Amino acid sequence: MAYLQDVYAANLNAVCHSGGELRLRPNETWAYREHSFMQNKFYFITGGRCRITVAGKTYIGEAGTWFFIPAGTRHSYTSFAGEPLQKQWIHFDLYPNADMAQMLGLPLLVQVEAGDPAYALFDKLTAANGSQRLTDRLDAKAYLLQLMARYVAIASADEDVGGEEEERIQRLLAYIHEHLDERLSNDELAAQCHLHPTHFIRYFRGRTGQTPAKYVAERRIEAAKRLLEETALPVAVIMDRVGLQEPSHFARLFRKQYALTPTEYRRQFRAERKKYD
């Protein structure tokens, strides 16, 4: 828990890119084939029903069902023919991105009781996010963080975090995030945990579900994504800042994670942002 309080939460940046309310009439449909998306998603069903498949598992959403679909997760969705549907939706980025869901073991959905503060928070965020005023944009960021906190509270995720082993892996993940521009070998990371390199790889995979190399590569690409969105830095400079040297390797990793080259992603992101600016 110390890592979440002292490092992760202190450095967390939440950005709502788009959102709103969807109200389908009985003769309308809401559907999309399986795909992955570059941002996180909240789908909060407030009326009617829908079917959402996430990471190969299908769920039925109805009034009070709140879905959290992390960025890059394969998913599809469809409404039921002839039935109305009402939902709130948000596309947003968290940076650091993947760690909160992973470390807290957040579920893909929670059930929200009538009258829960989440209902009002979604309404407030939708209203604030549609404004151009600085105060409303700041409010939108605050409401998004409150929604994240509410989701964690409903999921009771805080109860699952703790213990010496959890603190050790959290300290290591903090170290990785703080040194992405450096060469992070297995030997060096193992030393941070006071483990033998051979045992370290098994330990890391057991705690995160990924090899150290894959985890580090994904965090580097996430960091590059944020720099592409928030700065006008040349791609070569961004590569250096995230510890990647070969342009072809960087482009391949980025395309694998986001289905676009870095240049294509920056162009698409700017075009999407203009729609809401």
Q: Which two tokens stand for residue 96?
A: 């650091």
* Angle separating helix axes 164-178 and 212-230, nearest 10 degrees: 50
pLDDT profile of the chain (277 residues), mean per 10:
54 81 88 88 94 91 93 90 91 71 77 92 90 85 92 71 65 85 91 86 82 89 89 94 91 88 90 65
Lookup result for tokens 């939706």 = 89
- Confidence (pLDDT) at 119: 95
pTM exceeds 0.75: no
- Confidence (pLDDT) at 160: 47
Bridge partner residues of 31 (DSSP)? 78
- Confidence (pLDDT) at 100: 64
Task: State which fold the 12-159 domain adopts.
Answer: Jelly Rolls (2.60.120)
- Confidence (pLDDT) at 161: 46
Amino acid present at 51: R
CATH level 2 (architecture), domain 164-276: Orthogonal Bundle (1.10)
- Confidence (pLDDT) at 170: 75
**Structural domain spans, the chain:** 12-159, 164-276
Do 12-159 and 164-276 have matching folds?
Answer: no
* Angle separating helix axes 197-208 and 212-230, nearest 10 degrees: 60
Name which of 53, 33, 34, 35 is nearest 43 in CA terms. Answer: 53
- Confidence (pLDDT) at 242: 93
Cis ω for the linkage preceding 96 (within 30 of 0): yes
